[in-house]
Amino acid sequence: MNAHVYLDSLNPAQRRAVSHGGDAAPAPPVLIIAGAGSGKTNTLAHRVAHLLVCGADPRRILLMTFSRRAASEMIRRVERIARKVMGDGAGVAVDALNWAGTFHGVGARLLRDLAEQIGLDPAFTIHDREDAADLMNLVRHELGFSKTEARFPTKGTCLSIYSRCVNAEQPIEDVLRLSYPWCIAWAEELKQLFGSYVEAKQQQNVLDYDDLLLYWAQAMCDGDLAADVGARFDHVMVDEYQDTNRLQSSILLALKPDGRGLTVVGDDAQSIYSFRAATVRNILDFPLAFSPPAEVITLEQNYRSTQAILGAANAVIDLAAERFTKNLWTDRATGAAPELVNVRDEADQARFIAEQVLENREAGTTLKQQAVLFRASHHSGPLEIELTRRNIPFVKFGGLKFLDAAHVKDLLALLRFVENPRDRVSAFRVMQLMPGVGPTSAQRVIEHLAQAPDGAEALRHAPAPARAGEDWIAFVEAIEALRSGMSGWPAEIERARLWYEPHLERIHEDATTRQADLLQLEQIAGGYPSRERFLTELTLDPPDATSDQAGVPHLDEDYLILSTIHSAKGQEWKSVFVMNVVDGCIPIDLGAGAKDEIEEERRLLYVAMTRAKDDLHLMVPQRFFTHGQSSTGDRHVYAARTRFIPNTLLKHFQRRAWPLAAQAGSRPVSAGPKIDVRAKMRGMWR
């Protein structure tokens, strides 16, 4: 058998990318740049498999993807490919690929390894965005900024500014000028705030998301340390490179200054994360960061979509102001033109999608092969209700995170407090779950713990909140039992839940549903080797499927995918519906709408459209009810089709109005206005 039989299914450019460098030795740097559906991820998976087949040591391969889900999908693909040549040996090799994950996840792991060398306590806990905002708020309050006469930026804004300075490696003055001009007057106070925020984190031994990259990058400024970490890996590979930021690219360059062993993959037309300071420049500047420059391999054939869908998506992205990757071609059949479906309102939009999804299922397309995409998580509200009404199971990605639910946060705060008694945000949250413990008494205990050398031991001697009584004693016992590690992991989480349950029942009316979530959390916990790993991984990459209305489907069941466009990255479905393809939704209401932001919205629409293989529906509701204006309100606003599909592009679409006039009874809806009332109104004044 051909030793590299898996190469046969690839086109010449893909093959060149996969076998770049020839064998398992680290090769000069390479950039694989190409449009949607051209097989980038597939090529990267083949490259990893190829290296394994050629004898590369899987423990010395660092593979960074955008989410943990993407990493595990990639690993499954690698195994399938390698199996063709290595047989069962592929499983063993793939199991040893233990450096696959997100930048943040890998950062957290390396920082624990390097902790002693960089003066960090390896038992640090990680704050998610909400915890970080809470701590920012605490500091902001302590500095007296919350009482300023002119309104000081909110905790969320402060955190965003801080995060952007860190991730974009930009001085605060530049960040304020470019992105937060209304906060310019506060530059000095913000600097002071950020200084104190950093001190608070250090005192409490917590790191926030940004710190994981920042500490990693800082550690890599030390040449010896960078060389040491770089030498741990023969190959460093990054998928979705267009969505990395400056800090990430500086880490990469520090690890592999000459680029040997580096492979990065991306598509500038799909860059959609600039709010995290991701910069498309990373991918464009990559080749010239090395001497000689990195090899660039472009892929030009799209394997995913029919010609009609690809044609429409290409036409949309063609109107972009700036672009580097070329239009793709496909040899797939033409297929039906994507449909632009005019519906009266969001309720009709939901009904249309539900009916069409069922029709598709009748015709043989399972629910799992269909997805409904939307720009903002709340856009799917009416659809979720409609699906529930019709008993169509669904799973939603990118919405309210499971971990954002108050009760899940409570239990996690308890575990975090056990892990790191100096973590104030967790301590503050968990103590106040008990009746009779308010902010002041919690604060007193926290101060006491902060002074003591061993926080856990100190809890027993802390000033017990006077009104907490028995509850306090039970709390101290629970913490001590959990810290002793007696029950072991994951049994500990059950112990934690037993402590929490009476409080849950007291605090929440719908305790039963919430208990089910906690049981689910316990199940998730079973998949992790230790409390520390569980807390770290969960914070970094939370499970984001919520389906509270429909009930969590079992994996072998069929269910429809609902997803924000951001979370749909890298995926594909046979049939795709994009909701609310109107101005105000895509592009989202941007106020003044800076040009760059508008361009990013255009790329989002491109990403959404290019997820479809065989059929694509773009939904255009004509009016939206607006909320919060009047309690009786039938207030609505009229929406216009997105500006990204101007009249000149209509030839790429099939237009349709739904329901048909006859079905809709007395209210016909047509594809275009029969009389242009707005023009008439304007005419009145001419």
> Which pairing describes strands 636-638 and 612-625: parallel, antiparallel, or unpaired?
antiparallel
Closest approach of Cβ 246 to ligand ATP, in Å?
Answer: 22
Could you tell me which stretch among 7-15, 97-105, 414-422, 578-586 binds ligand ATP (CB under 6 A)? 7-15
Calculate the CA 643 to chain-centre distance: 26
Distance from C-alpha of 271 to C-alpha of 171, rounded to nearest angstrom: 23
Closest approach of Cβ 572 to ligand ATP, in Å?
Answer: 6
With CB under 6 A as the rule, give the number of residues binding ligand ATP.
Answer: 19
Closest approach of Cβ 145 to ligand ATP, in Å?
Answer: 43
Could you tell me which stretch among 3-11, 313-321, 473-481, 640-648 binds ligand ATP (CB under 6 A)? 3-11
Q: Is 632 exposed, middle or buried (0-12, 13-18, 19+ CB in 10 A)?
A: exposed
Closest approach of Cβ 9 to ligand ATP, in Å?
Answer: 5
Supply φ then ψ for residue 487, to 5 degrees: -75, -20
Q: Which residues pair with 235 in a beta bridge?
A: 61
Residue 36 is labelled as binding a ligand:
yes
Sign of CA dihedral 597, 598, 601, 606: negative
Residue 376 is labelled as binding a ligand:
no
Please give the helix or strand (H or E) that residue 225 lies within, else none: helix 223-230
DSSP 262: E
Interacting residue with ligand ATP among 6, 14, 125, 534 (CB under 6 A)? 14
Closest approach of Cβ 338 to ligand ATP, in Å?
Answer: 16
Could you tell me which stretch among 6-14, 183-191, 323-331, 429-437 binds ligand ATP (CB under 6 A)? 6-14
In the complex with ligand ATP, the residue whose CB is nearer, 14 or 567, is: 14
In the complex with ligand ATP, the residue whose CB is nearer, 307 or 388, is: 307
In the complex with ligand ATP, the residue whose CB is nearer, 47 or 246, is: 47
In the complex with ligand ATP, the residue whose CB is nearer, 34 or 430, is: 34
DSSP 325: S
Per-residue binder mask for ligand ATP (CB under 6 A), 608-647, x = binder: --x-------------------------------------
617 three-state secondary structure: strand
Per-residue binder mask for ligand ATP (CB under 6 A), 37-66, x = binder: xxxxxx------------------------
Q: How many CB atoms lie within 10 A of CB 623?
A: 14
Per-residue binder mask for ligand ATP (CB under 6 A), 536-575, x = binder: ----------------------------------x-x---
Residue 38 is labelled as binding a ligand:
yes
Calculate the CA 514 to chain-centre distance: 24
Q: Is 36 in the site for ligand ATP (CB under 6 A)?
A: yes
In the complex with ligand ATP, the residue whose CB is nearer, 315 or 437, is: 315
660 three-state secondary structure: coil
Closest approach of Cβ 401 to ligand ATP, in Å?
Answer: 23
In the complex with ligand ATP, the residue whose CB is nearer, 47 or 531, is: 47
In the complex with ligand ATP, the residue whose CB is nearer, 408 or 607, is: 607
Per-position DSSP letters for 74-132, written without gaps between them = HHHHHHHHHHHHHTTHHHHHHHT---EEEHHHHHHHHHHHHGGGGT--TT-EEE-HHHH
Please give the helix or strand (H or E) that residue 15 lies within, else none: helix 12-18
Could you tell me which stretch among 25-33, 36-44, 127-135, 546-554 binds ligand ATP (CB under 6 A)? 36-44
Closest approach of Cβ 303 to ligand ATP, in Å?
Answer: 3
Q: Determine the length of the chain.
A: 686
In the complex with ligand ATP, the residue whose CB is nearer, 395 or 607, is: 607
CA torsion, points 459, 463, 467, 471, in degrees to nearest 10?
A: 10
| Residue 65 C-beta-side C-alpha neighbours within 13 Å | 21
For 249, 405, 541, the CA distances from 401, given in Å and listed in that order, are: 28, 7, 10
Per-residue binder mask for ligand ATP (CB under 6 A), 302-321, x = binder: -xx-----------------
DSSP 641: B
In the complex with ligand ATP, the residue whose CB is nearer, 10 or 550, is: 10
Closest approach of Cβ 274 to ligand ATP, in Å?
Answer: 17
Distance from C-alpha of 634 to C-alpha of 620, rounded to nearest angstrom: 20
Calculate the CA 571 to chain-centre distance: 13
Could you tell me which stretch among 30-38, 137-145, 333-341, 427-435 binds ligand ATP (CB under 6 A)? 30-38
In the complex with ligand ATP, the residue whose CB is nearer, 344 or 375, is: 375
328 three-state secondary structure: coil
Q: Which residues pair with 647 in a beta bridge?
A: none
Could you tell me which stretch among 17-25, 32-40, 94-102, 322-330 binds ligand ATP (CB under 6 A)? 32-40
Give me the amino acid identity at 294.
A
Per-residue binder mask for ligand ATP (CB under 6 A), 245-284, x = binder: ----------------------x--x--------------
Distance from C-alpha of 175 to C-alpha of 171, rounded to nearest angstrom: 7
Could you tell me which stretch among 33-41, 184-192, 582-590, 669-677 binds ligand ATP (CB under 6 A)? 33-41
Determine the residue with CB nearest ligand ATP: 39
Give the E-state strand segments of 140-280 in sequence order. Answer: 206-208, 235-238, 262-266
For 3, 130, 378, 624, the CA distances from 404, given in Å and listed in that order, are: 49, 9, 15, 28
Closest approach of Cβ 610 to ligand ATP, in Å?
Answer: 5
Per-position DSSP letters for 233-278, written without gaps between them = -SEEEESSGGG-BHHHHHHHHHH-TT-TTEEEEE-GGG---GGGTB
Q: Are 328 and 310 in contact (CB under 8 A)?
A: yes
Residue 37 is labelled as binding a ligand:
yes
Closest approach of Cβ 558 to ligand ATP, in Å?
Answer: 20
Supply φ then ψ for residue 127, to 5 degrees: -90, 135
> What angle in degrees, to the nearest 10, is found between the helix axes of 103-114 and 209-219?
60
Closest approach of Cβ 33 to ligand ATP, in Å?
Answer: 10
Per-residue binder mask for ligand ATP (CB under 6 A), 577-596, x = binder: --------------------
Distance from C-alpha of 620 to C-alpha of 578, rounded to nearest angstrom: 9
CA-closest candidate to residue 21, choices 294, 299, 230, 298: 294
Could you tell me which stretch among 8-16, 191-199, 368-376, 675-683 binds ligand ATP (CB under 6 A)? 8-16
Closest approach of Cβ 11 to ligand ATP, in Å?
Answer: 5
Residue 41 is labelled as binding a ligand:
yes
Residue 40 is labelled as binding a ligand:
yes
Q: In the β-sheet with 100-102, what is the strand arrangement from edge to edge?
A: 100-102, 61-65, 235-238, 262-266, 30-34, 295-299
Calculate the CA 511 to chain-centre distance: 29
Distance from C-alpha of 446 to C-alpha of 421, rounded to nearest angstrom: 9
Interacting residue with ligand ATP among 11, 157, 179, 327 (CB under 6 A)? 11
In the complex with ligand ATP, the residue whose CB is nearer, 433 or 561, is: 561
In the complex with ligand ATP, the residue whose CB is nearer, 241 or 499, is: 241
In the complex with ligand ATP, the residue whose CB is nearer, 73 or 222, is: 73
Binding positions for ATP are: 34-41
User: Binding site membership: which residues?
Assistant: 34-41
Contact residues for ligand ATP, defined by CB under 6 A: 9-11, 14, 34, 36-42, 267, 270, 303-304, 570, 572, 610
